Amino acid sequence: MLYRLLLKVLTSSSNGSIYKYAPLVNYFFCKLCRFSPRKLPLPLFPKPLMGLSFANPVGLAAGFDRNGKLLPYSEMIGCGFIEIGTINVDATKESDNEVMTAIQNLNKAAKYDQSSNRQQRWGINLGSLRNTLDEQTAADYNKGMDLFWHHADYLVINLSRPESDARSLDPDMNSLDTFLTNIKYHHSTLTSYHGHVPMVAKIAVDHVHNEHIIAILLLLRDHGFDGVILAFENWPDMKPMSEYLCRLKTETDCFPLIVVGGIRSTEDIQQLMAAGASLVQIYTSLAQQGPLQTRKMISRLE
């Protein structure tokens, strides 16, 4: 109630969107709750996936906490995992403020967490501002992996950027194949030195133009990606989304599918999990409802 009131005051006084203020208001709410005498535990419905144990199957999607500022307080929201980023990396740059800030926040969050046994998983969503699927773009992602390998429970190669060639209606599968080979080779090299960190790709699934999605999923699976985040965009409601998801699950032979887009209630989560989602993520629903309502939505999964 207080959350929504505060957000309303902020957005109407400045004519801004909730997306602009929600991360800030959530940050202050979660930080304040830290001083509450009653510590709210993370809702536990453990979900094993990609060799990790997720406290529950509902995560916070990328974009909300772009640089990891919320991480020390993020258990308040009740999500089983938080995905920070997108952190755009430019392999040609020596130093980068966006990267430095994220690393500082991750170090701070890890220190804050030292005494306890962290149950919430942290993902890092990596991006490149280049749109082409070529060696230079792959080098950006590979540098991102180098920088964040030791900070992440899992890594995301974000191919859902609207301008990316990966989102073309008719993507060049040969370029995509070479690009993924390059990235997977680097991932395997890092794995051999430092141990495995699961890697997934995030791709957009538009309601109208999605004929090529199955081919992309099969390519990711064959390249040894640990799973994929499907960002459903412009879908009218949960029913067609669940039906399509069910088809993808079958045609990709149970490749781990993490679903984001349009999830607003416990029932939506249950429906998508029943249709084959291994995990789900939310964004707008947290922005609209705030941390306490979100926590309630997740707790009701019981």
Ligand X SMILES: Cc1cc2nc3c(=O)[nH]c(=O)nc-3n(C[C@H](O)[C@H](O)[C@H](O)COP(=O)(O)O)c2cc1C
- Name the minimum Å distance from CB 17 to ligand X: 8
Minimum distance from CB of 283 to ligand X (Å)? Answer: 3
Residue 254, CA distances (Å) to 6, 115, 158, 250, 265 in order = 43, 37, 21, 6, 25
Measured CA to CA, the distance from residue 302 to residue 44 in angstroms comes to 9
C-beta atoms surrounding 168 within 10 Å: 13
Task: Name the minimum Å distance from CB 114 to ligand X.
Answer: 28
Contact between 62 and ligand X by CB under 6 A: the answer reads yes
61 belongs to the binding site for ligand X (CB under 6 A): yes
Contact 160, 231 (CB under 8 A): yes
- The interface region with ligand X, picked from 48-56, 100-108, 187-195, 260-268 by CB under 6 A, is 260-268
The continuous run of DSSP H or E covering 123 comes out as strand 121-127
User: Is residue 88 close enough to count as binding ligand X by CB under 6 A?
Assistant: no
| Choice from 26, 137, 160, 182 touching ligand X (CB under 6 A) | 160
Of 51, 49, 55, 155, residue with least CA distance to 102: 155
Stretch that binds ligand X, among 105-113, 147-155, 217-225, 279-287 (CB under 6 A): 279-287
Q: Please, which of residues 189-208 interact with ligand X by CB under 6 A? A: 202
**Which of 42, 78, 73, 46 is closest to 59 using CA atoms?**
78
Q: Does 217 bind ligand X (CB under 6 A)?
A: no
Residues of this chain that interact with ligand X (CB under 6 A) are: 19, 61-63, 86, 125, 158, 160, 202, 231, 260-263, 282-285
